[in-house]
Amino acid sequence: MVDTAVSARTHELDRAHVFHSWSAQGALDPMVLAAAQGCWVWDGQGNRLLDFSSQLVFTNVGHQHPALVQAITDQVATLATSAPQHAVASRSEAARLIVEQLPGERLQKVFFTNGGTEAIENAVRMARLHTGRHKVLSAYRSYHGHTATSIHLTGDPRRWPNDTGAAGVVHFFGPYLYRSVFHAQTPEQESQRALAHLEQVITLEGPSTLAAVVIESVVGTAGVLMPPPGYLAGVRELCTRHGIMLVIDEVMAGFGRAGTWFGYQHDGAEGLAADPDLVAFAKGVNSGYVPLGGVAISTEIAATFAERPYPGGLTYSGHPLAAAAAVATIELMKHERIVEHAAEIGEQVLGPELRALAEQHQVIGEVRGAGVFWALELVSDRQTREPVVPYNASGSANKPMAELVSACRRRGLLPFVAGNRVHVVPPCTVSEDEARYGVALLGNALGEVFGG
Ligand code: PLP
Whole-number Å distance, alpha carbon 116 to ligand 1 midpoint, is 5
Q: Out of 53, 144, 214, 289, give the residue to mutate to test ligand 1, the one with the largest number of ligand atoms within 8 Å of its CB.
A: 144
Torsion angle, alpha carbons of 299, 304, 307, 308, to 10: -140
Domains parsed from the chain with CATH numbers: 4-64+337-450 (3.90.1150.10), 68-335 (3.40.640.10)
Nearest residue (CA) to ligand 1, atom 13: 116
Q: Out of 20, 112, 117, give the residue to mutate to test ligand 1, the one with the largest number of ligand atoms within 8 Å of its CB.
A: 117
For the segment 357-378, what is each residue's pLDDT rounded down to a tens digit?
Answer: 999 999 999 999 999 999 999 9
Atom number of ligand 1 nearest to Cα 56: 8
Taken in order 96, 99, 100, 101, the sign of the CA dihedral is: positive
Whole-number Å distance, alpha carbon 406 to ligand 1 midpoint, is 25
As beta bridge partners, residue 169 has 136
For the segment 236-263, what is each residue's pLDDT rounded down to a tens digit?
Answer: 999 999 999 999 999 999 999 999 999 9
Atom number of ligand 1 nearest to Cα 145: 11
The Cα 415–Cα 49 span in angstroms is: 10
Q: Out of 143, 162, 216, 285, give the residue to mutate to test ligand 1, the one with the largest number of ligand atoms within 8 Å of its CB.
A: 143
Atom number of ligand 1 nearest to Cα 150: 10
For the segment 284-315, what is each residue's pLDDT rounded down to a tens digit?
Answer: 999 999 999 999 999 999 999 999 999 999 99
Whole-number Å distance, alpha carbon 231 to ligand 1 midpoint, is 22
Quick one: pLDDT at residue 66? 98
Furthest-apart CA atoms within the chain: distance in Å: 65
Alpha helices in 258-396 (DSSP H): 299-304, 320-335, 338-344, 351-360
Whole-number Å distance, alpha carbon 78 to ligand 1 midpoint, is 30
The Cα 228–Cα 266 span in angstroms is: 9
CB 84 within 8 A of CB 314: yes
Nearest residue (CA) to ligand 1, atom 12: 116
- In which element (H, E) is residue 106 found? none
Does residue 97 surpass a pLDDT of 80? yes
Whole-number Å distance, alpha carbon 181 to ligand 1 midpoint, is 26
As beta bridge partners, residue 386 has 381
For the segment 2-54, what is each residue's pLDDT rounded down to a tens digit?
Answer: 999 999 999 999 999 999 999 999 989 999 999 999 999 999 999 999 999 99
* Range 152-172 average pLDDT: 87
More confident residue, 388 or 272: 388
Atom number of ligand 1 nearest to Cα 216: 3
The Cα 132–Cα 126 span in angstroms is: 10
* Pocket lining for ligand 1, CB < 6 angstroms: 56, 115-117, 120, 143-145, 216, 220-221, 249, 251-252, 282, 293
Whole-number Å distance, alpha carbon 283 to ligand 1 midpoint, is 8
Atom number of ligand 1 nearest to Cα 293: 15
Q: Out of 114, 252, 262, 373, give the residue to mutate to test ligand 1, the one with the largest number of ligand atoms within 8 Å of its CB.
A: 252
Question: In the 8-state DSSP scheme, what is residue 293?
Answer: E
The Cα 54–Cα 196 span in angstroms is: 36
Q: What pLDDT band is residue 202 in, cutting at 50, 70 and 90? A: very high
Does residue 166 surpass a pLDDT of 70? no
Mean of the per-residue pLDDT values of the chain: 97
Whole-number Å distance, alpha carbon 348 to ligand 1 midpoint, is 28
User: Distances in Å between the alpha carbon of 205 and those of 209, 234, 422?
Assistant: 7, 18, 36
For the segment 437-451, what is each residue's pLDDT rounded down to a tens digit?
Answer: 999 999 999 999 999
